[in-house]
Structure 1
Amino acid sequence: MGSYNGKVYNTPEEAEEYVKETIKAHPVVLFTKRFSPYCYKATSAFKSINVQYEEILLSGRSDCQIIQDVLLKMTGARTVPRVFVHENCIGGGNETSALNKEGKLKKLVDKEEDAPKEEPAQENQASTEQQEEAKPAEEQTSEEKPKEEQAEDQKPAEEQKADEAQEAEATQEDQKEQTAQE
């Protein structure tokens, strides 16, 4: 298995700029890790509806933890995958798969592509909704939180522990891989 040879982001500010630019530049972006069944679920969902996506593989990257911290700040979760459609986080593998099974994933991707682009003057005026989304997750009421975060809050404790255990295992695998490469 090869190591990551691209640009490394050493500060949270650099990583945040990279993540935001990547999300803005591509209609669909997935932050993933190797060997994750949840990441496989998400990529399979997009492949099944013939939607191209930008995949940012975090495995083997020395800046993996920094990028995941940025994703935590932006979405309320640092687990992978973190899936973005038209700059909005729709959640992880389970949420993406569920949207696909309900026939909503393709519509979500297509909806934004067909929508007219806002004028630059409108972009400078933040709507109340955008201001609410900008609040840190811990300050948002359940009505203000994005649907994927509400679902995350309502996950059974066992499922949350399983997600955390899977994340810890993937991180350990990445660390072993890095150590073996050095």
Structure 2
Amino acid sequence: MAKIEIYTTPTCPYCHAAKSLLNEKGADYTEITVLDPALREKMTQRANGRRTVPQIFIGETHVGGYDDMAALDRAGGLDPLLAQ
């Protein structure tokens, strides 16, 4: 299974939804909480300027936020990406 990193904050409902979807898929992920400004800056650089959370990376692919990942799942593209 691909390496998954998800940048979050503790109170973000979209972060919780993204983690829930990944849990439903049985995917292991590393959660990076971006309360520290340096971590948020690193996330922003990796996410091509996007500052909102969550930001999800599967392998080398920047999936985007929860809405992006959910759309990818509905289109049938999430499972193959997770299986890499």
Partner of 1:86: 59
What per-residue deviation string (whole Å, max 9, x for no partner) do you get for residues 52-108 of structure 1?
A: 11111234xxxx211111222222212111100002211011111221222321111
Q: Which has the higher strand share?
A: 2
The structure with the greater share of residues assigned to helix is 1
Q: Distance in 2 between matches of 1:49 and 1:103?
A: 13
Looking at structure 2, the residues matched to 100 and 69 of structure 1 have their Cα atoms a distance apart, in angstroms, of 28
Aligned equivalents of 2:61, 2:42: Cα separation in 1: 15
Question: Which of 13, 26, 41 matches 1:69?
Answer: 41
Q: What pairs with 1:50-61 in structure 2 (closer than 5 Å)?
A: 50-59=26-35
- Quote the Cα distance in structure 1 between the aligned partners of 2:19 and 2:74: 14
Question: Which residue of 2 is the match for residue 101 of structure 1?
Answer: 74
TM-score (norm 1): 0.42
Rg larger for = 1
SS class of match (1:69): helix
Q: Is the 8 A contact 1:32 1:81 kept in 2?
A: yes
Q: Which structure 2 residue ranges, 5 or more long, are not aligned?
A: none
